[in-house]
Amino acid sequence: MSHTTIAFFNSKGGVGKTSLVYHLAWMYRELGLSVLAADFDPQANLTSAFLDDGRLEELWPDRGHARTVFGALEPLLRGVGAVALTHVEQLEDGLHLIPGDLALSSFEDELNRQWPACLDGQERAFRVISAFWRIIQAAAAQTAADLVLIDLGPNLGAINRATLIATDYVVVPLAPDLFSLQGLRNLGPTLRRWRQEWNERLSKNPDPEELDLPPGSLALAGYVILQRAVRLDRPVRGYARWIERIPEVYQTAVLGGEAKHVAPIPDDPHCLDLVKDYRSLMPLAQEAKKPMFLLRPADGAIGAHGEAVLAAYRDFERLARQIAQRTSVRVPERV
C-alpha cells in the first residue's frame, strides 16, 4: 500500500513545529486517513505530546529502549544486523506513532562517518544512511498508513539529512520574526546541496537490484506561518514587517529563484496558511492529552474557549486540506 511522507522542518527552533505536526496528525485522522507520526527529533517532544509520563517510562526504561526509533537502529549500530522495527505505538484507530528517543542523538556520529563512504560504494554505508527510510517503510506497511508525518529537530545535522532524503515532501514552519528569515537563508542552500549530494551517491549503489534506496526527492510543499499574539509584550503588528519579507526570502533562498514577481501574503502560492495562535487553549489541551480542536466542555472548553475550539477545528482542517492538495494526498470528502 502506497503512502506519502511529509517532513516538517526548520533549522530554527521555537516556531511551534511539534505542535503543528501533532495537531495535523490528529486532523488527518479526523478526515479519515490512516496516519503514522514519526518522532525523529532527539528531543522527543512529539512523543511527549502524544503519551503520558507513565507510558514514557515504559518506553524509556533504564536499560534498553527496544520500542523506540533508537531501538530499531541499535542492531545496525552494533553491526549485528539491519534495522529492526518491532514496535509502533497505536494511539487511536488510524493514528500511530514511531516513538522518539533522547538516545537518538548518538546516531549522529555514525551517520556522519557513513555519508562520505557512500561515494566509495560501501553497502553498509548505504544501509546506515537509509535506515530512517527503512523504518518508515516498515512502519507504514505495518499500520497501513496513508500518510506519514515526521517531526525533526531544529538543526542542519546528519539525522535530519538522512531523514529528509527519505521524505516525499517538506513543509517549512515559520514564525514571523528575524530569526526565521535568517534560518530560511541557511535552510534553502542546505536542502539543495543535500538533494544534489544524495543523487551523486545513488549512482554509487553497489547492488541496485537488491539494495532499495530512497529517491531523495525532497520536494518543497511550501511554508506555514505560525502567528503569535504577543512576544516580549509587543503586539501582532510588530511582526508585519517580517511577514512581508518571507515570500521574497523563500523564493530566493529556499527555491533558488530570482526575486521577480513575488506575490505578497496571502497571495503567495508557496504560503500554505497563516495559523492563528490559540494560546488560551494550549494548557487545556496539554492537560487533556488531546488536540485543541477536540477539547470538550468536560475539558474546560466552555464559553469563549468553546468558540475557540470550533475556530481551531476550521483552521486546522483548512490547513490539512491545503497541504494535502500540494502533496497529492487524497482526503475523503465529507458526507
Helix extents (H) in 165-268: 178-202, 240-249
> What is the average pLDDT value for the chain, to the nearest integer?
91
Over residues 259-265, the mean pLDDT reads 79
Please compute, for residue 26, the number of CA atoms within 13 A of its CA located in the half-sphere on the CB side. 19
What pLDDT, in 10s, does the model give residues 196-212? 999 999 999 999 999 99
Reported as a pLDDT band with limits 50, 70 and 90, residue 238 is: low
Please say whether the dihedral angle defined by the alpha carbons of residues 270, 276, 279 and 282, taken in this order, is positive or negative: negative
**Is this prediction's pTM over 0.85?**
yes
On whether the 4-281 domain is CATH 3.40.50.720, my answer is no
C-alpha cell at 34: 490512516
Over residues 255-262, the mean pLDDT reads 80
Sheet strand arrangement including 89-92: 89-92, 95-98, 35-39, 147-151, 4-8, 169-174, 219-226, 271-275
Q: Which range, of 79-83, 112-116, 143-147, 328-332, averages the lowest pLDDT?
A: 79-83
Q: How much is the pLDDT for 228? A: 64
pLDDT at 97 over 90: yes
Nearest to 25 by CA among 43, 38, 13, 14: 38
- At residue 222, φ and ψ (nearest 5 deg) are 135, -170
127-158: string of b/e by CB count within 10 Å (b at 16+)? Answer: bbbbbbbbbbbbbbeebebbbbbbbbbbbbbb
How many C-beta atoms lie closer than 10 Å to residue 214's C-beta? 23
How many C-beta atoms lie closer than 10 Å to residue 251's C-beta? 20
CA–CA separation, 24 vs 19, rounded Å? 8
Decide: 328 and 11 in contact? Cβ < 8 Å.
no
Domains of the chain, by residue range, sit at: 4-281
